[in-house]
Amino acid sequence: MAADDKGPACPRCGSVGLRFVQATGDTSHYKCPSCRRDYKRKGSGSLTFGRTNPMFQPLFAVRSEPDPEEDVGFVTDMVAADMPLDAIAAMVREIEAELAQPSQQVREIAGNVASEEKCRKFLAAFAAAVQARVEP
Ligand SMILES: [Zn+2]
């Protein structure tokens, strides 16, 4: 075992190695020392953002929906209701970054039943709806 044993590379930062934080059940948790994003990997599945990522909440809200885009209005009301404007802006930036440059299977972040394509369409519609709501 190498002395500089590192986790997988951060999907956002490229070559930066993730730090292993802990294992809960069959899920390993990591943190990027550079961008501070949390990641998790369940069993032999793919590396995804952890629960602290702003994308988790909207995806979790529609995790059992086969067509999540139909619920965008409802999820926007629920998620954005009490969220400060800077947190909304950060959430929209995070979603746009992932849509522009996919780094993982977003459907695995919260365990959505919908396809990857449908989850990405949902995130795009959600980000647009949230932005439309906060713009004066
Ligand atoms: Zn990173």
How many domains are there within the chain? 2
CA of 39 to the centre of ligand 1 (A): 9
Of 49, 66, 84, the position where a domain reaches its end is 49
For ligand 1, the distance from its centroid to the CA atom of residue 9, given in whole angstroms, is 8
User: Could you tell me the mean pLDDT of each successive run of 10 residues in the chain, 136 residues long?
Assistant: 62 91 95 96 91 96 98 94 91 96 95 98 97 83
DSSP state of 102: -
Domain match, 57 and 107 both: yes
38 CA → ligand 1 middle, Å: 9
Asked if residue 128 and residue 65 are part of one domain, the reply reads yes
**Is 73 in the same domain as 120?**
yes
- Tell which of 49, 69, 87 closes a domain: 49
Neighbours of ion ligand 1 (CB under 5 A): 10, 12-13, 32, 34-35
Ligand 1 centre to CA of 22 (Å) is 17
Measured in angstroms, how far is the CA atom of residue 136 from the centroid of ligand 1? 33
pLDDT score for 2? 39
Distance CA(6)–CA(116), nearest Å, equals 29
* β partners of residue 20: 30
Can you give the pLDDT at residue 4? 43
59 and 45 part of one domain: no
Residues 58 and 45 in one domain: no
Which range of residues forms the domain containing residue 79?
Answer: 53-134
pTM for the whole thing? 0.90
